[in-house]
Structure 1
């Protein structure tokens, strides 16, 4: 079944064409990623599909029989609404509507008003829609996305938290087609891994823009590349895309060389012919123009070539000695020490709010510790690429901004280049250098921010989420540059591929001020954590299995030929207790099956059922003992 069709779509901004007459479709079960360089028009294409932008020409046809959800790169919500209201207020999902109706009806019932008929009707609807199970799913998804306090107003949330709310809202809608624009930006690593696992198994169609290469590898089964205004389709994951793109580039290069050779021959023919255009064979003139266009077609690769020099590092770089920092009752760093060595490439991981950015500010001296010392060597020059987008004067031209820092830039080989040549190395061609910064895409602004850090030739790089909004071409080049960077480097990133390629050990922020120095890259860390988790589960299971063996079984009651009066009374009491406990258990099971607004009540009922089962087991054992006595029934 076809879910979406894009036919002959074109879009330009001023004199800058993004794409021209592109066509593609999305069918049921397809999980497609859209890739391309920054500024190629990926986010614009996504907005056109969702009706947020108008194309210059062409059509987008959405199957009206399917449900669609869209997660914007930077989602915006009504600031005064709570997380819960934002998630469910405008939902079209029948189970979500039923849950909301049930919760409202329960509030009315709790206020003392008689709405039993309404409540029964809603509960029947909940049963029919299997909404009790869905309520559990809601709780699980919100927990996995770190949205625990759903009463918080969204206006108070960070960009990353708003992204989580948008993802939760889209997932809970249970769409047939889910559209995601940079879904992994601002998420921590464990949340990304959960989302990756969920989307790879979910029974839905997917169309997303992302630069996360592990995500592309595991989730997608098809990749669309937006290149030079055209769409190229690859039926496979990221590895397949890389192989086939390389083949396509080789074929194109061969065809262009053939076109150049043919162009030279045709040019000779054109020059030999009379000047009057009408006397020449029109078809051949047209063919000549087409050949000329193909022969001299320029691919807008925007290859980034990073060759910036770094200042020399001295013997002392940075020494951290017994560092402490807290905010109120929250410990950020507790008794941490480390001495940086030349060539250190360290990754930092930990949940959002664990104190990673605070630690970086302590390291650079922007923040004072409560106790301990951070000693910075005299030759150490920090280059700090911050997670927040650089605050540039958007009316300035790129070339003017760079010239304010340096007219001439020294490269790693000792040679010098002009500011304009330096911009060109970073993928900003001469024509673009004289445009205002306001005309740049989000990814281009991030690339400019990186340029402004490296132009100062630092020898200690701190990169806080450097991969956000950068295209794959820029990422690969940046990785090659950082691999050969002679100074020290700290990376905070949710990009697992980036971390695996560059870091040799990791500072793991475990919470409550604890920082573990782990020897290895991110994949090594996750494998070690999984092994530790499996070991802990196995030990717990072994202890659970051994516990009954350590308890002595109760001594069997000595058989008496005739039951005494007291034993007959006990037998009757045991029977009554068993009956009452079974009734109580049935009642609690019924309540759980009906669902409840209060999850604490659900937990309490489950715990009570466990206690009843234990008591029943004890009473039934005694009942069996007594039943063996003669005359017990009399």
Structure 2
């Protein structure tokens, strides 16, 4: 395996804080690495160190000669006046990028619904994010760094990205480069990663004691293997902690046998004991989970009866979100909602909430229903920025009954993961994940019996996500979740429904996998329908003998007879077959080159020449394929 990037004794500072220290990592060809850790631990900093956009404060970062790096950052910095095409393929003509199959796949997976000539300033935030991701995927780089690539992607988009990256990075023998991903999407991690790096944040114990810097812990395997290995490490740490505690007791007992005795003890024993005590790290910040009392929920919850919801677009067209939908939510039902962008998932939640009224039909609400909504953003906290965390919680309720105990706001905040210092921090200074946690805490303290969650995983790290899921496990009411996080949906809901943009609510006995199959079938049906429509137009053109018909045909471009179209389709198939064979031969020679470079037998110069010839053939065949398919599309 070719070595691409290495970090040796690297340190990174964030002001006076030691963010990371003594980081030693290596990335070889074929690596598929996931990076996890709490918000603010230094995950994005680690990517910048690897990319070379941030220099280490100590240590060394090495890169193999000629290694090209592409990086998707969390904040997209793109020219709003540039078009989609100029951003994704800067300075390239159409034939340069369109001749490569990988680029065409990226267009189909991320940009199919966008006008390539539209300016970025006219796009939504989610569309801009997809353009930024597409731009990095189309760069021919040996190392690809992705910082939260699944943000703004729906379930279908996340599934496409996972399959694309798996096909692109097939292992070291393929010579495909290295992939390093920072993400909180656990299903995505489990699909693509073969190694996990956990960024463990540093701790400032205060009292003049030295900082405990952040570090990197490595785990082999996917996310599931990481969880198992981490649990085993925690178990071993508990065993070691128990042994350590016994040793501490003995040392402290020995030191405390009276002042006269203490003065006669060897100094090195006292110093050793003090070092042992000072070296005890603070416990990991954990979110304690609890079941809060909820208002009694009767037999009737929310019933949609023959509901239709439509609105008039600015251009005057009528858009129907729901059409004659009947759907009944039962007490304690737990349902997840998936669907294509624009299908009306958030609109459906607003109907259930009561913010919107249906155009036709009615929504029947139970008498005891108390609804709480977790929106996609945390804008509900914007008017509370001057308040501290405890004050914001106290504003909802001064205390809450948890089991048989009554907890004050300050006690609850501490038990829900905010340290004493963070509990008195102004909301304006909280991270996105902390604001999200506070937002959910305030909702639960209002004691609802129907909880509507709209993309609840935004800005949360994996540990907080796991804690939130356990918290939702204890929620005794009805739960409705809209999310692109497949792991969350399958974890906290009992079944799922889909909105496909046709105004109906489809039940999914097969879960998210069934939804993806339905979407794939719909795409294939659209493709078949488009081909049939094209063939019908061709047949009509052939049957038209009038001069007017000839004029129309000439003005709309060249047409093909049925025989010519069949021959052209056959030629496309032949070129594709030759292209696949040539690509496989080139891949075989790439493996041979790697073997020779690592000490194997063979003529390196001759093999390199043959490999270059095959690459030239691949380029030529790709151009032939592009020209043939263009003829088919235009005919």
Distance 2:105 2:157 in 1: 13
Give 2:104's match in structure 1, choosing from 129, 139, 142: 139
Per-residue deviation, 1:535: 12
The answer as to 2:367 corresponding to 1:401 is: no
Residue 120 of structure 2 corresponds to 154
Change (3 A) 1:2 1:440: farther
Residue 289 of structure 2 corresponds to 305
Distance 1:354 1:341 in 2: 23
Q: Does the 8 Å contact 2:339/2:499 carry over to 1?
A: yes
Alignment of 1:321-332 (within 5 A): 321-328=305-312, 329-332=318-321
With 284-293 and 400-409 compared, the bigger mean Cα shift is at 284-293
What is the SS of the residue equivalent to 2:463? helix
Change (3 A) 1:581 1:384: closer
Q: TM-score, normalised by structure 1?
A: 0.74
Alignment of 1:475-624 (within 5 A): 475-523=465-513, 525-526=515-516, 605-606=631-632
Per-residue deviation, 1:58: 4.1
Residue 223 of structure 1 corresponds to 196
Give 1:377's match in structure 2, choosing from 356, 366, 370: 366
Deviations 1:372-400 (A, max 9, x none): 21222231111111112334344432122
Per-residue deviation, 1:595: 5.2
Q: TM-score, normalised by structure 2?
A: 0.74
Distance 1:339 1:258 in 2: 56
With 223-232 and 332-341 compared, the bigger mean Cα shift is at 223-232
Deviations 1:360-383 (A, max 9, x none): 112212123222212222311111
Q: Does the 8 Å contact 1:504/1:520 carry over to 2?
A: no
Residue 23 of structure 1 corresponds to 24
Q: Does the 8 Å contact 1:350/1:510 carry over to 2?
A: yes
Alignment of 1:26-45 (within 5 A): 26-45=27-46
What is the SS of the residue equivalent to 1:333? strand
Q: Does the 8 Å contact 1:383/1:461 carry over to 2?
A: yes
With 65-74 and 277-286 compared, the bigger mean Cα shift is at 277-286
Change (3 A) 1:284 1:159: farther
Residue 68 of structure 1 corresponds to 69
Q: Does the 8 Å contact 1:213/1:497 carry over to 2?
A: yes
Deviations 1:415-436 (A, max 9, x none): 3211112112221111211122
Q: Does the 8 Å contact 1:306/1:477 carry over to 2?
A: no
Structure 1: gaps of 5 or more residues: 90-96, 103-125, 541-577, 610-634
Give 1:99's match in structure 2, choosing from 93, 103, 113: 93
Alignment of 1:338-377 (within 5 A): 338-377=327-366
Q: Does the 8 Å contact 2:449/2:476 carry over to 1?
A: yes
Q: Does the 8 Å contact 1:504/1:519 carry over to 2?
A: no
Distance 2:161 2:124 in 1: 19
Q: Does the 8 Å contact 1:306/1:478 carry over to 2?
A: no
What is the SS of the residue equivalent to 2:321? strand
Aligned residues: 527
Residue 418 of structure 2 corresponds to 428
